[in-house]
Amino acid sequence: MKILVCIKQVPDMESRFKLNSEGTWYDEADLAFRMNEYDEYAVEQAVQLKERLAGEPEITVLSLGPDRVVEALKKALAMGADRAVHVKDDKYYQKDPWQVASVIAGHAAGQGYDLVFTGMQSQDRGSAQVGVTVAELLGFGCATTLVGFAYEAGVITAKRELEGGSKGVVKLKLPALVTCQLGLNTPRYPTLPNIMKAKKKEILVQPVSELLKEAEVTGTGGMYPPAKRGGGIVIEGEVNDQLDKLMGILKEKTTVLRAA
Amino acid sequence: MKALLIAEYRQGKLLDTTYELQAFAGLLGAESAMVLVGSPADLPKFSGKLYLADVAKYGEYNPDLHKKVVLEAVAKENPDYIVFVHSSYGWDLAPRVAAALRVGQVSEVVGLPDGKFEVTCCNAKLRRTVAPKSARTVITIQAGAFSPQGEPQGAPQVEVIDVADPAGKTEFVGYEAAEQKDVDLTRAEIIVSAGRGVGKKENVQVIAQLAKALGGELGASRPVVDAGWAPHSHQVGTTGQTVSPKLYVACGISGAIQHLAGMKKADFVVAINKDKDAPIGEIADVLIVADVMQFVPAMTARCAR
């Protein structure tokens, strides 16, 4: 079995974001980057499957982006992936989800992958399109938002998270692509011996120009911080003073504390 | 301009979000038609054409079949926009339709400033406008972002869609019910919710004590539930419960879009957060800039007096 895991490197979401000079994306200076949280579940699920199948599957991890994404690829290798593909693209943020999916499908076509794992979305762009689109381009069965995964004799039984806590159970045959949601598993921390082993694993670098065949179908107009809602009061200072002000406001503006 | 609205039916019921699609089409100024894989006994109130595939024949969600139904209606209507709710149905099906048509998709639209499609990114810390470049565009709208005005009215002109039953690549097995609820947050008048910012499981109790002192219920954000700090029944948000209390106190909650979607119908929102720029501040009536673990116990003591 050949497995592909698609990962993205994204900024720490606790960061303060500034815009780039064109106002079309965030400025990457001063940001700390890490593996997209949803993709960590994808890597973990692939490695768990490999372990359960006694190490038979070969796991390739792929990321599109500038040189820094090699760090995310190395983490995936240290978690248990066998080899990595870095699709090098300094202007990755100018590609729309359709182009990103086309590039991944361009890599995957002819490689004989049986199973592809992706996160359900990236934490920065959040389009939730790339995984499903890759599946469509490859003609693979696809299930999204997995919170449960089981594999037996060429058939995946997946639990999809639906609204309100219910789940939808689906079965799909290989070849297939699944997108992973929080709660699917607990991603492992790479151990020191595995980090050392990962240093010897292959990272193939391929320029994006070799894989990109499609024009964009959506573009970014502009990017900006959200407008603050008018009327919202910000209270800073010492806790007791803050409390005095808050209780006054609650008594005046709401009915919930009047009886108290 | 024409929009094809993809209504949603799940577990034997037409979903109310259908009316948010109509509200969105109204804001776009688009003439609209609708598609539903659902039941003729439970049709939306809608004055326009409705392409219906009967759920009795096709069953509930099967992505390949539903894609075929939507594409059939697209061929008949020739719409400029194909609009879904950004739900477990919409985010699964919309990219399949866009890929089949080789057109652009704009995901989780939250607003239409100056007629542009506005979406959020980086956990709602930034907004972005997305410009379609294809002749036709697939859109998903954020649940709750476009509220219907007034009571929906009308009866659709139904045209039955019959597609050959393809052997879809995904077989729907069934639903698994949510865990038994020990609390009904949808009826609570006061909710005090814990977010990742409370730091550790023991601290959730401190938040629960404030909820108790106020006569309300404990809520939680998704990371708190995933970490096992609170049961799923307390989760507020897209995949938890949608609540509309008179008072919502968000403690250490940054304001991820999925959480905001579940609580933005609250009458009055108080947020307690160290980060003055946290997105929760956008929708809070009052933002207390403070350490949750200092402020909340003080507030509990004050309310218990």
Beta bridge partners of B41: none
**Looking at the domain assignment, is residue B111 inside a domain?**
yes
Indicate whether B135 and B210 sit together in one domain: no
Are A256 and B189 inside 8 Å of each other by CB?
yes
Are A133 and B103 inside 8 Å of each other by CB?
no
The CATH number covering residue B206 comes to 3.40.50.1220
**Looking at the domain assignment, is residue B196 inside a domain?**
yes
pTM above 0.90, yes or no: no
Are A123 and B287 inside 8 Å of each other by CB?
no
Indicate whether B51 and B200 sit together in one domain: no
Secondary structure (DSSP) of A92-143: GGGS-HHHHHHHHHHHHTTTT-SEEEEESS-SSS----HHHHHHHHHT-EEE
**Looking at the domain assignment, is residue B75 inside a domain?**
yes
Kindly list the distances between the CA atom of residue B214 and the CA atoms of A192, B209, B295, in Å, as whole numbers in the listed order: 49, 9, 15
Indicate whether B107 and B242 sit together in one domain: no
Unique residue bearing structure tokens 């997995």? A146
The CATH number covering residue B17 comes to 3.40.50.620
- The token pair at A247 is 């209780």
Q: What is the pLDDT of residue B277?
A: 83
Half-sphere exposure of A90 (CA within 13 A, CB side): 0
Name the E strands within A202-258.
203-207, 218-224, 233-235
Amino acid symbol at A139: G
Range of the domain at B259: 190-303
Q: How far is B56 from chain A (nearest CA, A)?
A: 18
**Looking at the domain assignment, is residue B174 inside a domain?**
no
**ipTM of the assembly?**
0.92
List CB contacts (< 8 A) between A161 and chain B: 88, 239
State which residue of chain A sits closest to B243, comparing Cα positions: A164
Q: What is the pLDDT of residue A260?
A: 45
| Rounded-to-integer distance, Cα B259 and Cα B238, Å | 7
DSSP class of residue B59 equals -
B99: Cβ contacts below 8 Å, ≥ 6 apart = A98, A101, A132, A133, A136, A137
Q: What is the pLDDT of residue A258?
A: 54
List CB contacts (< 8 A) between A219 and chain B: 130-131, 133
Residues belonging to chain B: 305
Indicate whether B196 and B66 sit together in one domain: no
B9: Cβ contacts below 8 Å, ≥ 6 apart = B15, B36, B37, B38, B39, B42, B55, B60
**Looking at the domain assignment, is residue B23 inside a domain?**
yes
Indicate whether B209 and B144 sit together in one domain: no
Cα dihedral angle (B180, B181, B182, B188), rounded to 10 degrees?
-170
- The share of chain B scoring above pLDDT 90, in percent, equals 75
**Shortest CA distance to B73 belongs to which of B109, B48, B105?**
B48
| Rounded-to-integer distance, Cα A220 and Cα B128, Å | 7
pLDDT tens by residue, B236-288: 988 888 899 999 999 999 988 889 888 988 999 999 999 888 889 888 999 99
**Looking at the domain assignment, is residue B176 inside a domain?**
no
Helices and strands per DSSP (H, E), number in chain B: 9, 17
A31: Cβ contacts below 8 Å, ≥ 6 apart = A11, A12, A15, A17
pLDDT tens by residue, B15-31: 999 999 999 999 999 99
Burial label, B56 (beta-carbon count in 10 A; 0-12, 13-18, 19+): exposed
pLDDT higher than threshold 60 for residue B55: yes
Beta bridge partners of B289: B273
Q: What is the pLDDT of residue A231?
A: 67
- The token pair at B214 is 């106020």
Are A128 and B281 inside 8 Å of each other by CB?
no
| Rounded-to-integer distance, Cα B36 and Cα B24, Å | 17
| Rounded-to-integer distance, Cα A72 and Cα A32, Å | 12
| Rounded-to-integer distance, Cα B105 and Cα B87, Å | 15
Nearest Cβ partner for A219 among B91, B99, B131? B131
Q: How many domains does chain B have?
A: 2
Indicate whether B150 and B234 sit together in one domain: no
pLDDT higher than threshold 70 for residue B166: no
CATH classification number, A2-210, choose in 1.10.8.350, 3.40.50.300, 3.30.450.20, 3.40.50.620: 3.40.50.620
List the domain boundaries for chain A. Answer: 2-210
| Rounded-to-integer distance, Cα B103 and Cα B135, Å | 7
Cα dihedral angle (B128, B129, B135, B139), rounded to 10 degrees?
70
Indicate whether B9 and B132 sit together in one domain: yes
| Rounded-to-integer distance, Cα A220 and Cα B131, Å | 6
**Looking at the domain assignment, is residue B184 inside a domain?**
no
**Looking at the domain assignment, is residue B171 inside a domain?**
no
Q: What is the mean pLDDT of chain B?
A: 92
Indicate whether B203 and B296 sit together in one domain: yes
- The token pair at B1 is 């301009």
Indicate whether B9 and B129 sit together in one domain: yes
Average pLDDT over residues B50-62: 92
Are B133 and A218 inside 8 Å of each other by CB?
yes
Indicate whether B8 and B148 sit together in one domain: yes
Are B173 and A169 inside 8 Å of each other by CB?
yes
Nearest Cβ partner for A163 among B239, B247, B284? B239
Name the E strands within chain B.
2-6, 9-10, 13-14, 31-38, 49-54, 81-85, 104-111, 117-121, 126-132, 137-141, 157-160, 170-176, 190-194, 217-220, 247-251, 268-273, 286-289
**Shortest CA distance to B162 belongs to which of B31, B57, B294?**
B57
Annotated binding site of B for FAD: 196, 221-222, 235-239, 252-259, 273
Under-70 pLDDT residues of chain A: 228-231, 258-260
Indicate whether B10 and B73 sit together in one domain: yes
pLDDT tens by residue, B100-148: 999 999 999 999 999 899 999 998 889 999 999 998 999 999 988 898 8
